[in-house]
Amino acid sequence: MCGRYTLGKPLKAIESHFGPLHINLEYRSSYNIAPSQLSPVVINNSEQRELTAMKWGLVPSWARDEKMKLINARSETAHEKPSFKNSLRRQRCLIPADGFIEWRGTEKQPCYIYLKDQALFGFAGLFSTWKNPEGLSLNTYSILTTEANEKLSPIHARMPVILPAEQYETWLAPDSSLDVLRGLLTAYPSEEFGFHTVSKEVNSPKNNLPEILQSL
């Protein structure tokens, strides 16, 4: 499960990490990215990587309306699910982030999780284009998840799939085989992560300042 994440780094840092990129959005840092919001994703567009905005919550191309919003996709079964299998084969993306939030225990205490070196990283993502009856397109995405690693499993049983930078090209390449792609969808190593508890102010997407991520 991944229900919130952060992207506070400047645009130049994102371009340096994922680029070279064609920038096709107005970028703003965000410290509490929530489902249904427009957020940056990296796609291959005519053999060039592009940073563009899509709405978080995948609406399958065949959906009757846009009410179906799938924010996460289980990596173990995405290849066989009608909502995700075509996207896994043809519409893959990277989702830039520098942290994510999970809720621990019955008290639902939010924990902010990040790489120890505070670096940018990319979630493995799927996207889809849905058209309304008037022919207007809506581009949406979902974050792939897997079983949590040893360090994060006490917080939540699932975690988003984070791809090492050396796997970005394979993930985005249009000719990557399904077997190769599925082999990338594993838990990121435990030793790379740090985390701390944060205020329950993150429960509201209206709270979107870096202060809400301070350790309690």
Task: Round to whole Å and give the CA distance between 81 and 88.
Answer: 10
Per DSSP bridges, beta strands 22-24 and 48-56 are: parallel
**Which of these, 19, 17, 11, lies nearest to 48 by C-alpha position?**
19
Degrees to nearest 5, angle at CA 50 with 20 and 118: 65
Task: Round to whole Å and give the CA distance between 185 and 187.
Answer: 7
Based on the residue annotation, tell me whether 102 is a catalytic residue of this protein: yes
From 2, 47, 150, 191, the catalytic residue: 2
From 47, 50, 80, 102, the catalytic residue: 102
**Which of these, 211, 96, 85, 114, lies nearest to 165 by C-alpha position?**
96
Peptide bond into 160 cis (omega under 30): no
Task: Round to whole Å and give the CA distance between 85 and 83.
Answer: 6
The answer to whether 140 touches 58, Cβ cutoff 8 Å, is yes
- Phi, psi for 51 (deg, rounded to 5): -100, 115
Task: Round to whole Å and give the CA distance between 194 and 115.
Answer: 6
Catalytic residues: 2, 102
